Amino acid sequence: MKTVLGLTPCLIQRYQFSKIFLSSGDDKTASGSRRKSPNNSPGSGGGGGLPKGLKLSFFCLIISVCLLLVVFGLYIDTTSPFLVQLASKLGYSKNQYAVIIDAGSTGSRVLAYKFDRSFIDNKLVLSDELFKERKPGLSSFADAPEKGAHSIKLLLDEAKAFIPKDKWASTPLVLKATAGLRLLPHSKAENLLNAVRDLFTKSEFSVDLDAVEIMDGTDEGIFSWFTVNFLLGRLSKSNQAAALDLGGGSTQVTFSPTDPEQVPVYEKYMHEVNTLNQKTNVFTHSYLGLGLMAARHAVFTKGSHSEATNLESICVNPIISNRTWLYSNVEYKISGKDHAKSTQENPIVVFEACLDLVKSKVMPLVKPKPFTLKQHTIAAFSYYFERATESGLIDPFEGGEITVEAYRKKAQSVCAIPNDEQPFMCFDLTYISVLLHEGFGLGEGKKIKLYKKIDGHEISWALGCAYNILMSDDKFNS
């Protein structure tokens, strides 16, 4: 087992997660309604007009009550929304910000977070966030790094508009690239990162030497797991949700085994993580090459010359001809392939043939196989969510819960209908169903909870990374 003592990719010295309670007036669950209403009216932020002596007396009273409760062995949650809001009104909270840029394979996103420091125990309370996205991903600018840096600058400008200028110097700025840059030749990836580093030095934010880099898949998985379980209010529970993230170049699986006897089985994929001041053993692995776009490329190029860009696939309907698809900075022309069971009057994808082809590409890459994943509640996001909404499996605004079988049945129906508007949906749904069922060993009836946001907050590893930097770096956690 690996005990994680260092976490270089996110500028910190350890995985050190503590409870984050988001401010609200309704604390019916740990996740609750998480946004604070802005209170910028005169007299409200500086103590509501209360005299300084009265404010000090009230603060001392709160401290005394907390100490008495501790002495008598009782528990008080000093990060409860009520106390935090009250402290904020009295001027005893401190705002802190963090900017994380997720340079993914298909797009770059900026997530800027506003936190309040808890007035007693220094915990962070998330009160607001910014999310903006630009496409294509940074890796698409492999031959034009300056243009890639400009795409990041546009996101950085959004963060500057969100964060007060007097806070920029005390706000950490980080860019972590994921599978898209991992798949590039080293020299091209470094040219892109260096262009972004030059941009960051002029940003006026707080930038460390390793603020711009390719993120390790382990960090990506653990931070996503943290974010999901925090937003679901499950971090303090013994049965945290498993986090499944399907990106363009890779997919991450992260969960905490429920049976201690399972821990040795996964050996080198286990990591010890501190959450809520307790240690949790977490399995995580990033399966490079099993992201949705990487899988498309592997299947579409099957049987073709390595330099070929005009491709035919049995997983694409025959009505599709020379459809442009950009992958890893290469433009492909994708067409469907005729099949004996497909006629001019009834053009279809033969689902069984596509299914077998996908299995042949997926199964060899699923190592290790997370065979105890089926024991957990599963929260899935990114392309799992997007393809489910685009195919009508779930509501795009509410999300929802579906079974593994639902993906497969929808794939069968989509493959049997010519669809010029969604030319690759047949493949995408088939791939997802194979990955979940044959790849990860989930039964057809296993329920998958699909999310894009929880209580208005984006599901992203960036929240876990931001919180960790602010809590673990002495420069920000003073």
Q: Per residue of the chain (478 residues), what is the pLDDT tens digit?
A: 544 433 433 433 345 554 443 433 333 333 333 334 344 444 344 444 555 565 566 666 666 655 554 444 444 444 455 555 555 555 556 889 999 999 998 899 999 999 987 766 677 778 899 999 999 999 999 999 999 999 999 999 999 999 999 999 999 999 999 988 988 999 999 999 999 999 999 999 999 999 999 999 899 999 999 999 988 988 877 789 999 999 999 999 999 988 777 778 788 899 988 776 678 889 999 999 999 999 999 999 998 998 999 999 999 999 999 999 999 889 999 999 988 787 777 899 999 999 999 999 999 999 999 989 999 999 999 999 999 999 999 999 888 999 999 999 999 999 999 999 999 999 999 999 999 999 999 999 999 999 999 988 899 999 999 988 988 888 887 6
Report cis status (omega within 30 of 0) of the bond before 38. no
Which two three-digit tokens encode residue 396? 């795009």
Q: What is the model's pLDDT at position 432?
A: 98
Q: Any catalytic annotation for residue 331? A: no
Domain boundaries, the chain: 89-215, 217-459
448, 437 Cβ separation under 8 angstroms: no
Which residues pair with residue 132 across a beta bridge?
110
CA distance 164 to 162: 7
Are 89-215 and 217-459 in the same CATH fold? yes
Its CATH architecture, for the domain 217-459, is 2-Layer Sandwich (3.30)
For residue 248, say whether it is annotated as part of any ligand binding site: yes
d(CA 33, CA 378): 22
Kindly state the DSSP code that residue 349 receives in the 8-state scheme: -
| 107: three-class secondary structure by DSSP | coil
Give the predicted TM-score (pTM) of the model. 0.79
Output the pLDDT for position 32.
Answer: 35
- Please give the CATH superfamily to which domain 89-215 belongs: ATPase, nucleotide binding domain (3.30.420.40)
- Report the first-to-last Cα separation within the chain, whole angstroms: 32
Question: 453: which DSSP letter?
Answer: E
Name the residue with tokens 């069922």.
437
Is 45 annotated to bind a ligand? Reply is no
Q: What is the pLDDT of residue 15?
A: 57
Dist CA 246 CA 163 (whole Å): 30
Catalytic residue among 220, 345, 352, 386: 220
> Is 262 known to sit in a ligand binding site?
no
Question: For residue 328, what pLDDT is reported?
Answer: 84
